[in-house]
């Protein structure tokens, strides 16, 4: 099993920045991809970004391109999501996720999930 613990959420004004962190523990050798999804109130959970451990492949949802950057520290088994120019529509619970497979934009492409961290962007 793999355990994921997110941190870094909070309240920020529009135009501000936040950096989310997600530390993985347990059978981390099985992880090939780590990523982020988010779920806004009344909406379905949606893909935000993903990074494959090997090959340096990253993917982003259109909503975050140019504003969000996913990065990782392999030695610490940690993935980060730097979010800049945040807008109220970015308000959501952000979930860290990990997969034994290649990067995917689909929830069912991931095997492990964190508890989520709230990000609130005020206008």
Write the pLDDT tens digit of every residue in 35-58. Answer: 999 999 999 999 999 999 877 789
- The mean pLDDT of the chain is 95
Q: Which one, of 4, 42, 38, lies nearest residue 23 by Cα? A: 4
Strand order in the sheet with 18-26: 2-7, 18-26, 78-83, 68-73
How far, in Å, CA of 85 to CA of 100, rounded?
32
The dihedral region occupied by 66, where left means phi > 0, alpha psi between -120 and 50, and beta the remainder, is left
Q: Which one, of 80, 91, 71, 114, lies nearest residue 12 by Cα? A: 91
* pLDDT of 88 strictly over 90: yes
DSSP reduced 3-state for 49: strand
Q: Give the model confidence (pLDDT) of 97-123 as tens digits.
A: 999 988 889 999 999 999 999 999 999
How far, in Å, CA of 70 to CA of 94, rounded?
13
How far, in Å, CA of 76 to CA of 93, rounded?
24
């Amino acid at each position: 099993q793999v355990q994921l613990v997110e941190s870094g959420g909070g309240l920020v004004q529009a135009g501000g920045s936040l950096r989310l962190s997600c530390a993985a523990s347990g059978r981390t050798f099985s992880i090939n991809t780590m990523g982020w999804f988010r779920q806004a109130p009344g909406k379905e959970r949606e893909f935000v970004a993903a990074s494959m451990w090997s090959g340096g492949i990253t993917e982003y949802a259109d909503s975050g391109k140019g504003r969000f950057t996913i990065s990782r520290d392999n030695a610490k088994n940690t993935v980060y999501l730097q979010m800049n120019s945040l807008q109220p529509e970015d308000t959501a619970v952000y979930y860290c996720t990990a997969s034994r497979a290649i990067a995917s934009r689909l929830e069912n492409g991931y095997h492990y999930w964190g508890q989520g961290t709230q990000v609130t962007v005020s206008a």
